[in-house]
Amino acid sequence: MASWNSHGSRMREAKMLVLVLLVWLLPLLEALKVSPLIEKVSDHKDFKKLLRTRTNVLVVYTNTATSGDSHLKLLSDVAQTVKGQGTIAWVNCGDSEGRKLCKKVKVDPSSKPGGAELLHYKDGTFHTEYSRPATFKSMVAFLKDPSGPALWEENPEAKDIVHIEAEKDFRKLLKKEERPVLLMFYAPWCGVCKRMQPVFQQAATETKGRYVLAGMNVHPAEFDGLKQEYNVKGYPTFCYFEKGKFLHHYEDYGATAKDIADWMKNPQPPQPKTPEVPWTETDSPVFHLTDESFDDFLEEHPAALIMFYAPWCGHCKKMKPEYDEAAQTLNKGSDSPGVLAAVDTTVHKAVGERFKISGFPTVKYFERGEDKYTLPHLRSKDKLIEFMHNPQAPPPPEQSWEDTPSSVSHLGSEDFREALKKKKHALVMFYAPWCPHCKNAVPHFTTAAELFREDRKIVYAAVDCTRAQNHELCKQEGVEGYPTFVHYNYGKLVEKYNGDRGEAGFIGFMRSLRGRDQEKVVKKKEEL
């Protein structure tokens, strides 16, 4: 009996030993599951080296070796996909070395759900906390473009949109879906798409159960065949399907959610566009000239205001009724100070070339056949009539921002990269000279530049995106509207600035950057 008890005791001890070993080995076994592409870091010097040598790093800090297991399994797949574009690292704050590192960088994953915290580092410094969904697609999209917009499907308001990722999913939807489908082919950077997405997702919610509203990013080259198949020549393109068969395009880009819902009740093909109604002399008090009649007309009329236009030009269309009304008023009575005429220079090209017409509308005043003034400020009926009663030279054009002396550095495609590489911090304003918001920001931006003019590490710069040579540059830098402000660090894009556009905003932003720089210097000294 004693020997049996002794044997039972040894068995219990052996089980306990196995249990202890399992508990001890479990973290190690879990760690072994992690992809070799995820860099395990525990030493502070190795961590700093990682950030110094890699420009795009997502770090998962875990409370223990096992608390971040779900994240690490997912990130192993993400690391494989973004190999060469981004780096994923793991810091276990539960072991002795990792605890020291987490304390130094002030991270405490124990306070986070699941005991894990994800932080992103860009160009050697902290960029942002990862707060997007913990899904493969979202994480890959984030690491491929950390400063880019979130995916459409990440927006909770878009929950009723069917988000299609691959062509096979698109084909499957058409094959199985009995309800009518309206599909929005889009590109993530497209401004019109961004404007229409909230409307489209609201329509999806309002028509849920009756129709399917779907979205698909077809910008990548892999979808070129699909775009050709459905005649996608621009973004967005809306295609309507019934029982898997394509029937119509939907082309109302100014639609409301109700407009889309109403159209789905009775889908009709786009109506043919109404042809341009020519602006002819029969229905207008304005004299309409041709290449042949132009000189004879000027001989007969010693004072004439002539509008050179193109039928498709939006500004011309807007101005036509004002010009007609002014002509109607001026042609009354025998004491008219002059006449108003117009030339369609897309038809009568010889006249347009002769007077070097390069934009529409161009308004010129002729006196006794002489081209006396070009008048870009004349657009309204009252201004036109006022000028004809007292023809005077136009006010001098506003001096361009670039020609005005200031501490702002004006850059173009030829010197943009080289100039920014030399500056630790650059705030760049991408603008259009005609843009009202840009004009409002200019004096404040200029004042901020003046304040930091002596700091060799800082520059406030500007790029005129309307210049032909800068079009590609502005597109590459993600400029979709004016003004767009972007912060660069030694020539690398850090983030878009969306703060206050007054002096306080522009100055405060740069001061905060310099403050962070000073803190880093102090920390380095303390570490030494």
Catalytic sites, residue numbers: 190, 193, 313, 316
- Alpha-carbon span 339 to 210, nearest angstrom: 61
The two structure tokens encoding residue 180 = 């009518």
Q: β-strands 484-489, 492-497: how paired? A: antiparallel
Which residues make beta-bridge pairs with 342? Answer: 288, 307
Q: Nearest Cα to 340, choosing from 357, 358, 361, 356? A: 361
323: which residues sit within 8 A by CB, 6+ positions away?
286, 307, 340, 342, 381, 384
Q: Contact, 425 vs 431, CB < 8 A?
A: no
Q: With 0-12 CB in 10 A as exposed, 13-18 as middle and 19+ as buried, what is 185?
A: buried
- Alpha-carbon span 40 to 91, nearest angstrom: 6
In the sheet that holds 125-129, the strands lie side by side as 38-40, 87-92, 56-62, 116-122, 125-129
Number of alpha carbons in the 13 Å side-chain half-sphere of residue 135: 9
- Alpha-carbon span 15 to 148, nearest angstrom: 54
- Alpha-carbon span 290 to 285, nearest angstrom: 16
Dihedral sign for Cα atoms in the order 161, 165, 167, 172: negative
- Alpha-carbon span 435 to 439, nearest angstrom: 6
430: which residues sit within 8 A by CB, 6+ positions away?
462, 463, 465, 474, 477, 479, 482, 483, 484, 485, 486
What SS3 state is found at 501?
A: coil
- Alpha-carbon span 470 to 467, nearest angstrom: 5
Q: For the chain, give percent helix, strand, coil, nearest 5.
A: 45, 20, 35
